[in-house]
């Protein structure tokens, strides 16, 4: 997992460098267009397939243990293809309406056609990636993501330099990278399919869908709500800020500059959540539910501390980054960066804590928490956005994320996950980002000191778990060194 996370970090670093180039080359208006397009694709891709691929992490292991995996995959693939075709057709036929939805005006129909093509490639890639992850082939899933990052960067730079210096080049590069990766992944799936044993006992359509549909619907609703929760502030800026379309898109471009690094942190946590779901699901199915609860609490603490530590460093270095890397074009984005870092830290913790409800087959409770947070976000944006503009949107989103996280904690209690005082303290720690950057970094150092000297944040059992994991990696490194020495000696 550590190796795969390292690969993910490298891929996200490529994404960060790509984002820096976009900020340098595109004006705020074009950058705002790209941000809205990306937000729409992230919302539409899981919604188009009704959450069916999102259920793979929970049910692939379930049906594999029962010898029915081949039937499960055949049927879910057919449904996903059918719903994706319907969604793409709808976007193409109603292009002016979608142009108003995404950009606030109806004269960007050509971009909507590009978005429709891009959506098909994104759906295929996400489907294949979810399947590889659910089969615990995380190396392949990570390589797919890594390949897409490199291809997207290469194609985008080539099109921006050699074709058009606007959002259309970025969209075409984004979809083209997903298409190329998907073609390679589909060829790779042939060997996986051949390795799956034939179905041992027949499974009726009713038996499959009566079990899958309730969970898939809640996953679909959860994904839709999650993505809507993420993009609400930007859509509110376009449609409810009181500004004209061009000015509002420029403000979204400023917002995009403040989100590049925070979203990088959230994406790494998202990859981590995809990797641990099958493992926790396996433990849950094996009856080790207390172990799942303990691991979930420790994971949540580590994620909160890690993201907060990274956020404090970003906050400290941000003025230099915005001045030189972003060509000093995004002063408004720099001013709201601490708030963006704060709510992204909370959202990373929301992403992790939802896994427990998924394992407990209570995905609807996660959707309930997101719905409440979404309503809070919309209401606060309606109040704060016209008065405070971008700062109001960031403040509204921060409050909504904090409320959502608290609700999720409370909803997990009846199902066995009772968080200790350390978890609550770490959850409140992102408020440190309201302080000056040096004070935030000092606060993080104090938290780490408390972990080392006391059992208030991490208890003895959690520290022991970390020591066991660390000893395992130390032993692996020692074994590798010994193997390297022996290999070198034989060559001599």
Q: 450-470: per-residue pLDDT in tens?
A: 988 888 888 888 888 788 777
Pair (266, 190) in one structural domain: no
Pair (196, 247) in one structural domain: no
The reply to whether 41 falls in a domain is yes
Check whether 206 has a pLDDT greater than 80. Answer: no
Pair (253, 199) in one structural domain: no
Check whether 59 has a pLDDT greater than 90. Answer: no
Pair (111, 198) in one structural domain: yes
Which positions ≥6 away from 397 have C-beta within 8 Å? 232, 233, 339, 343, 377, 381
Pair (141, 283) in one structural domain: no
Pair (279, 189) in one structural domain: no
The reply to whether 188 falls in a domain is yes
Please report the pLDDT score of residue 6 as a whole number: 64
For 45, half-sphere exposure in the C-beta direction (CA atoms, 13 angstrom radius) is 25
The reply to whether 208 falls in a domain is no
Domain count, the chain: 2
pTM, entire model: 0.82
DSSP state, residue 420: -
Please report the pLDDT score of residue 7 as a whole number: 67
Q: Which string of b and e fits 47-65 if b means at least 16 CB within 10 Å?
A: bbbbbbbbbbbbbbbbbbe
Pair (317, 182) in one structural domain: no
Highest mean pLDDT among 123-137, 195-209, 327-341: 327-341
Pair (412, 469) in one structural domain: yes
The reply to whether 225 falls in a domain is no
Pair (346, 397) in one structural domain: yes
**What would the pLDDT profile of 376-387 be if each residue is shown by its tens digit?**
999 999 999 999
- The domain containing residue 271 runs over which residues? 242-476
What CA–CA distance (Å, rounded) separates 8 from 28? 28
The reply to whether 481 falls in a domain is no
Which of 203, 219, 252 marks a domain boundary?
Answer: 203
Pair (124, 255) in one structural domain: no
Pair (257, 181) in one structural domain: no
What CA–CA distance (Å, rounded) separates 244 from 242? 7
**What would the pLDDT profile of 228-273 be if each residue is shown by its tens digit?**
888 899 999 999 988 888 999 999 999 999 999 998 889 888 878 8
The reply to whether 224 falls in a domain is no
The reply to whether 30 falls in a domain is yes
Pair (199, 282) in one structural domain: no
The reply to whether 223 falls in a domain is no
Which whole number is the average pLDDT over 57-75?
78
């Amino acid at each position: 997992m550590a190796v795969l996370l390292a690969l993910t970090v490298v891929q996200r670093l490529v994404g960060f460098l790509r984002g820096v180039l976009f900020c340098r080359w595109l004006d705020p208006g074009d950058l705002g267009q790209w941000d809205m397009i990306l937000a729409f694709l992230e919302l539409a891709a899981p919604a188009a397939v009704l959450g069916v691929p999102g259920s793979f992490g929970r049910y692939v292991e379930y049906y594999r243990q029962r010898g029915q995996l081949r039937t499960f995959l055949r049927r879910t693939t057919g449904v996903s293809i059918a719903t994706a075709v319907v969604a793409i057709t709808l976007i193409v036929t109603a292009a002016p309406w979608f142009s108003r939805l995404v950009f606030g005006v109806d004269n960007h129909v050509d971009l909507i056609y590009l978005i429709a093509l891009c959506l098909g490639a994104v759906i295929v890639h996400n489907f294949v990636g979810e399947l590889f992850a659910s089969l615990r082939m995380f190396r392949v899933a990570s390589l797919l993501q890594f390949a897409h990052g490199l291809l997207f960067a290469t194609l985008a730079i080539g099109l921006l330099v050699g074709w058009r210096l606007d959002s259309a080049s970025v969209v075409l590069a984004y979809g083209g990278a997903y298409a190329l990766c998907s073609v390679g992944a589909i060829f790779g799936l042939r060997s996986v399919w051949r390795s799956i044993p034939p179905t041992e006992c027949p499974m009726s359509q009713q038996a499959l869908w009566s079990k899958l549909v309730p969970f898939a619907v809640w996953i679909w609703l959860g994904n839709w709500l999650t993505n809507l929760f993420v993009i609400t502030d930007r859509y509110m800026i376009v449609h409810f800020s009181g500004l004209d379309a061009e000015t509002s898109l420029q403000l979204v471009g400023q917002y995009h500059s403040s989100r590049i690094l925070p979203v990088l942190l959230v994406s790494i946590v998202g990859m981590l959540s995809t990797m641990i779901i099958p493992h926790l699901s396996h433990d849950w199915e094996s009856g080790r539910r207390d172990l799942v609860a303990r691991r979930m609490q420790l994971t949540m603490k580590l994620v909160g501390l890690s993201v907060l530590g990274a956020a404090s460093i970003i906050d400290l270095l941000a003025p230099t980054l915005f001045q030189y890397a972003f060509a000093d074009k995004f002063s408004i984005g720099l001013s709201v960066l601490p708030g963006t870092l704060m709510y992204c830290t909370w959202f990373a913790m929301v992403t992790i804590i939802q896994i427990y409800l998924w394992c407990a087959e209570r995905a609807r409770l996660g959707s309930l928490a997101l719905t409440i947070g979404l309503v809070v976000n919309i209401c606060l944006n309606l109040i704060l956005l016209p008065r405070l503009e971008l700062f109001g949107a960031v403040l509204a989103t921060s409050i909504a994320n904090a409320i959502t996280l608290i609700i999720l904690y409370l909803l997990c209690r009846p199902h066995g996950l009772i968080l200790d005082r350390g978890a609550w303290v770490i959850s409140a720690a992102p408020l440190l980002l309201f302080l000056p950057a040096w004070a935030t970094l000092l606060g993080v150092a104090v938290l780490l000191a408390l972990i080392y000297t006391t059992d208030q944040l991490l208890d003895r059992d959690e520290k022991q778990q970390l020591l066991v994991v660390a000893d395992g990696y130390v032993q692996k490194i020692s074994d590798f060194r010994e193997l390297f020495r022996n290999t070198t000696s034989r060559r001599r």
